[in-house]
A = this chain, B = another copy of it.
Amino acid sequence: MSSERKFTHKQIDPTPYQILEIESYIKLAQEVKKKAYCPYSKFHVGCVLFDQDGNMHEGVNVENASYGLTICAERNAIISAVTKGMKSIRLIVINCKTEKVGSPCGACRQVIGEFSNEKTIVVLSNDNGLYEITDFESILPGAFGPKDLFGSPNC
């Protein structure tokens, strides 16, 4: 159903062909999700990302008995990608089994921001075909980033 798709990216208006492509990545993220290590929450999340060179990277959530040392699928995909040469995110797709589209936690949004630019595409999806194509500024408005740190005089 078209009503289940939202396009809220401020700069990108996907063509029908790009939409097909994005839907295939959602399927990949859904598949990746099976690898999640989530014995405490039983809440599986999968993530697929493409870097500046078009290379694909994947991530799942990895929980910990301490709870606080749990790391989400999105951050897993991003930091795995850095090891493999990722400099910036072209496209990142999140998938989980929520009722509304899968929504990254604030920590993941912050880490997405470290490697995003205004063209970065963020896709939030769930298992029922619902998804949203959005951008970083829309999910973390007025984010604190590298410039704020370097721009500020030491106090």
Residue A12, interface by CB 8 Å? no
Chain A, residues 106-146, CB within 8 Å of chain B (1/0): the string is 11111101100000000010010000000000111111111
Given contacts A32-B83, A149-B43, contact A69 B68 (CB under 8 A): yes
A residues 33-68 touching B (CB-CB < 8 Å): 33, 35-37, 39-44, 58-60, 62-68
Decide: B82 and A35 in contact? CB cutoff 8 A: yes
What are the residues of chain B within 8 A of A98 when measuring CB–CB? 148, 151-152
How big is chain A's contact interface, by range? Answer: 35 or more
Decide: A144 and B70 in contact? CB cutoff 8 A: no
Residue A85, interface by CB 8 Å? yes
Which residues of A approach B to under 8 Å, CB–CB? 32-33, 35-37, 39-44, 58-60, 62-72, 75-80, 82-85, 96-111, 113-114, 124, 127, 138-146, 148-149, 151-155
What are the residues of chain B within 8 A of A37 when measuring CB–CB? 82
What are the residues of chain B within 8 A of A44 when measuring CB–CB? 155
